[in-house]
């Protein structure tokens, strides 16, 4: 059992993360920081703490609007950000406006992590994922094993669900990877998609697969539209916890991780979603997959989008 997990941002995703850390008993203590008034994080944690006797979890759940609550955490899960929702006047913030706001929040978050949990392994969920992880990297200058973005686990889970539904089989039978950036040109890797070890094409037609892959790329937006306000939160929280559990239990599990590439896949200095082994040290090894020529081209396109985002983040720093 880990000593302490900290969660930054206690909204929809952060709330589920804290609740799941408690119910899965992943650490002796879970801390939540959220700047929302009057004492939002404290209230959220009191609610969860008061339920721990019922679920039999001897875990300390503490919330605060001050960052010192995260002191000494072994793992930090970052969910702080403003989701893309309609303003009261009916307009939507532009992508740039949203990015500028979220980068400011990320600078604040980085300062808190640097001060109170400098050695923690950081798993970041906040969107725009590629931009936020890049900014955390610029600010925290962590070893690459210790800064991870969560996108691929969720994107792959969505792909797996849609394939399982189409094939009429258990989600447990479907193995799949979605790589690249966390944008519209993310890359579901059809050549690595297996149903009980068999190629997916044995069960699903190429036309259906194409439709599923398109749906996967836009799956986040589909949920946003249906909800009316806010974005997906249970599946992102569970996905980040899959990564956290791989680290906590030193599973050496291969999952898609948004990680800093240093020459792998011909990319240097960008955070891209690729398969990696997660264990007690965080990212322990990056796996270079064999891609088809078509997939290689699409991967390059996705990398180009991530590079554009990273350049924007750097430009917004000046
Ligand atoms: N420090 C700590 N918490 C902060 C800060 C900050 N500087 N700034 C904002 N927060 C908090 C907000 O007060 C809010 O409670 O982050 C929380 C975000 O919660 P929600 O708005 O409910 O958003 P959520 O659905 O949880 O998504 C969080 O992940 O998937 C992405 O797009 C999503 O970027 C968003 C993030």
Taking the CA of residue 231 as reference, the ligand 1 atom at the shortest distance is 25
Catalytic entry in 146, 158, 182, 190? 182
Return the beta strands (E) in 39-85 as ranges.
60-64, 75-78
All structural domains of the chain? 2-149 (3.40.50.720), 152-317 (3.90.110.10)
> CA dist 170 to 196, 216, 236, Å?
10, 18, 21
Cα 105 to middle of ligand 1, angstroms = 9
Return the beta strands (E) in 213-267 as ranges.
253-262
Burial class (CB in 10 A: 0-12, 13-18, 19+), 54: exposed
Residue listed under structure tokens 């697969």: 209
Cα 13 to middle of ligand 1, angstroms = 8
Identify the DSSP state of 227.
H
182 in catalytic set: yes
> CA dist 263 to 93, 130, 260, 269, 297, Å?
36, 18, 9, 8, 17
Task: Give per-residue pLDDT as tens, 81-114.
Answer: 987 666 788 777 777 788 999 999 999 999 999 9
Q: How confident is the model at residue 183 (pLDDT cuts 50, 70, 90)?
A: confident
Question: CA nearest 79: which of 230, 183, 280?
Answer: 230
Task: Give per-residue pLDDT as tens, 196-209.
Answer: 999 999 999 999 99
Residues with CB under 6 A from ligand 1: 8-14, 33-36, 79-81, 83, 105, 108-109, 125-127, 230-231, 233, 236
Task: Give per-residue pLDDT as tens, 44-80.
Answer: 999 999 999 999 999 999 999 999 999 999 999 999 9
> CA dist 158 to 121, 126, 143, 222, 232, Å?
26, 18, 30, 11, 12
């Amino acid at each position: 059992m880990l000593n302490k997990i900290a969660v930054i941002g206690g909204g929809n995703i952060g709330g589920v993360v804290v609740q799941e850390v408690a119910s899965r008993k992943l650490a002796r203590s879970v801390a939540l920081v959220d700047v929302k008034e009057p004492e939002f994080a404290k209230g959220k944690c009191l609610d969860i703490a008061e339920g721990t006797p019922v679920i039999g979890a001897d875990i300390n759940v503490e919330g605060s609007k001050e960052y010192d609550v995260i002191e000494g955490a072994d793992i930090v899960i970052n969910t702080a950000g403003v989701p893309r929702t309609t303003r009261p006047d009916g307009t939507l913030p532009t992508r740039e406006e949203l990015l500028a706001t979220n980068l400011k929040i990320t600078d604040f978050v980085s300062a808190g992590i640097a001060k109170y949990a400098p050695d923690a392994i950081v798993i970041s969920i906040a969107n725009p994922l590629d931009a936020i992880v890049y900014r955390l990297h610029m600010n925290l200058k962590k070893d690459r094993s210790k800064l991870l973005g969560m996108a691929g686990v969720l994107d792959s889970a969505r792909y797996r669900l849609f394939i399982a539904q189409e094939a009429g089989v258990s989600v447990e039978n479907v193995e799949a990877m979605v790589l690249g950036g966390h944008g519209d040109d993310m890359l579901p890797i059809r050549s690595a998609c297996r149903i009980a070890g068999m190629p997916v094409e044995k069960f699903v037609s190429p036309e259906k697969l194409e439709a599923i892959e398109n749906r996967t790329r836009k799956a986040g937006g589909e949920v946003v539209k249906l909800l009316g306000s806010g974005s997906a939160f249970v599946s992102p929280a569970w996905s980040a916890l899959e990564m956290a559990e791989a680290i906590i239990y030193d599973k050496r599990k291969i999952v898609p991780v948004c990680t800093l590439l240093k020459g792998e896949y011909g990319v240097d200095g960008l955070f891209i979603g690729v398969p990696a082994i997660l264990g007690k040290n965080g990212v322990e090894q990056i796996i270079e997959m064999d891609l088809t020529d078509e997939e290689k081209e699409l991967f390059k396109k996705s990398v180009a989008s991530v590079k554009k985002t990273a350049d924007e983040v750097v430009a917004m720093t000046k």
